[in-house]
Amino acid sequence: MSTLNYILPTGSMSLMDQKRYRQMAVAAGIERAADKKIGNIADDIPGIKGLASRDQRVDLILSYLEAGNMPPSIDVREMQPILDTGAALDQWNTAALAAVGTAYSCFQAVAAPTLAANRLAVFYKIGIETVPLPVSRVVFRSGGATGNIIGIFDLEQLVNRLETDGYLSEPVIIDPTGTFAVQVLARIATAVLARVQLGCLIFEPAGTTIA
């Protein structure tokens, strides 16, 4: 499957562009959630059962969302570092950046978390709170810290525009029970953590976390 990986600085996007990218991330997550039997999407969204093409299903879901609807059988929330990755703190901290060019986990000391069987993750955005920019790339891997690269984005493009956050050109999806890693490459050896905030949505059956 071909991919298109680049970063879109938030400052170069209109508010409508940003809303559209978030909606696209939600639609992509709902479509994959249906495939992974999270919730009852086929019953929630009229007409989706008869569509064989993924693109057609995503387009239908986008129209459904834009009409102000949300599938009642699932909840969509932001990722929580402790709950969803096993990190020690509910903060977006990397491991300490000790050497330039080395990859460090975005989940503190947890190198490769595993998603719960009833959860699906969709990454769509990244923000760097630490200045000057201490990292040069963000890398998404499946299967663990040395697994296959499923997304890679150049963060130095943000510096050129004096930006601190941006949207991913396409969402990165992690399936239930998937072991994965999100790593940044050190640009400066600071010997301390960097605050790298991941825009990530979790899809789970309604009522799992939020009553």
Domain spans of the chain, in order of start: 12-205
pLDDT digits 0-9 by tens, 190-200: 999 999 999 99
Q: How far apart are CA 193 and CA 129, in angstroms?
A: 11
Mean pLDDT score, 65-86: 97
pLDDT of res. 161 = 83
Q: What is the pTM of this model?
A: 0.95
pLDDT digits 0-9 by tens, 12-60: 999 999 999 999 999 999 999 999 999 999 999 999 988 989 999 999 9
DSSP-based three-state secondary structure for 7: strand
Report CA-CA distances (Å) from 37 to 28, 42, 73, 77, 115: 14, 10, 11, 18, 15
Residue 118 and residue 149 in contact, taking contact as beta carbons nearer than 8 Å: no
Q: How far apart are CA 76 and CA 31, in angstroms?
A: 13
pLDDT at 1 over 60: no
Q: Of all residues in the chain, what percent carry a pLDDT higher than 90?
A: 94
Instruction: For tokens 């769509």, name the residue.
Output: 124
Mean pLDDT score, 172-189: 98
Of the pLDDT bands very low, low, confident and very high (cuts 50, 70, 90), residue 4 is confident
**Mean per-residue pLDDT of the chain:** 95
DSSP-based three-state secondary structure for 29: helix
pLDDT at 104 over 90: yes
pLDDT of res. 12 = 92
Q: How far apart are CA 111 and CA 69, in angstroms?
A: 37
